[in-house]
Amino acid sequence: MKEKAYKKEILVTIVFIILYMLMGHTASLFVLFPGLQGGSMWGFPVHYIIPVLTGWFGMLIVAILAALVCNKLDDEIEAANKADETAAGKGGE
């Protein structure tokens, strides 16, 4: 049980690292594909406002999600540890 929770924690960590990288590096899309630079959004050029929005608000949303998911995983790991301790305590008596 505990090993499964740790494997899940590693997978969640990798997923959130990828999400952080995607949110923080959206400006690279406009360098790689210059044709995307032609529009405007709320009066700002798209290649300025999209990286700002995903950099600030996208990272904020990903950070909140990461905190919620990691707290649940920590609770799972803690419950597994307590179950192992009680099982070890009963076996020793």
| Domain residue spans of the chain | 2-35+45-80
Angstrom CA distances, 31 to 36, 42, 49, 87, stand at 9, 21, 14, 57
**C-alpha count within 13 angstroms, C-beta hemisphere, residue 19:** 16
How many other β-carbons are positioned within 10 Å of the β-carbon of residue 57? 11
How many other β-carbons are positioned within 10 Å of the β-carbon of residue 54? 19
Q: Where are the beta strands (DSSP E) in 1-93?
A: 40-41, 44-45
The one-letter amino acid at 68: L
What's the pLDDT score for residue 34? 81
Confirm if 48 and 54 have CB atoms less than 8 A apart.
Answer: no
pLDDT 10s digit of each residue in the chain, 93 long? 667 878 888 999 999 999 999 888 888 888 887 887 888 888 888 888 888 888 889 899 999 999 999 999 888 888 888 887 787 776 555
